[in-house]
Amino acid sequence: MISRIGKIGEYDVCILDKETAHSHATAIKDLINHIPNATYTETDFLAGEKDGVVKHAKWKHSLIVFDSGVPIAVLLAYEREAEGNEQYPVNTIYINQLAVLKNYQRQGIGRKLLLHFISLHSSFYELSGNPTVSVQTNSRKSNQHVQNFYKSLGFKKRAEKEYPDRVDIVYGLESLD
């Protein structure tokens, strides 16, 4: 059952629970794959674990936006355990993906969705500690608009994370009030 929790303009904001995720799996996968270099399958985004990272409380933190029953934006998030490094030094609520369909971009939907998310998630469901919100994004100059988006909402650069084919920036939002 879809849990409507608010509105962004005329669009419904809902908790992306497991049942809703499964029933809209193809549309959500396609939505996420609008992100440059994203290559998600339905199995990928429905998974509760990836590369040894457990996605705690994923179906309590993730949000979806509908226009007349059609997914137009999604924010996938979960509780991520501390890794004891500069990227993830403490337990955090981790934003895994934030995507808005191209025809709905530049209307403030992503910003309002993220602000709605932050206002809702000031505590952990499964992990403990003082929650922060973290996000990781590509450091390329072509991704500067995404970096600026997070910085404009108070996210601060915490660290960089190197991969064989890219370098990501890890941002953190320390205060959730």
Query: For the segment 121-162, what is each residue's pLDDT rounded down to a tens digit?
Result: 778 999 999 889 999 999 999 999 999 999 999 999 999 999
At 1 the pLDDT is: 57
Query: For the segment 83-109, what is each residue's pLDDT rounded down to a tens digit?
Result: 989 999 999 999 999 999 999 999 999
What residue ranges do the domains of the chain occupy? 3-173
> Letter for the amino acid at 52?
G
CA-angle at 9, arms to 19 and 6, nearest 5°: 40
At 145 the pLDDT is: 93
The token duo for 79 is 């509780």
The full DSSP string for 18-50 is HHHHHHTHHHHHHHHTTSTT----HHHHH-SEE
Assess whether pLDDT exceeds 60 at residue 177.
Answer: no
**Which CATH homologous superfamily contains domain 3-173?**
Gcn5-related N-acetyltransferase (GNAT) (3.40.630.30)
Residue 77 burial (C-beta neighbours within 10 Å; 0-12, 13-18, 19+): buried
Residue 120: which pLDDT band, with cuts at 50, 70 and 90? confident
At 175 the pLDDT is: 65
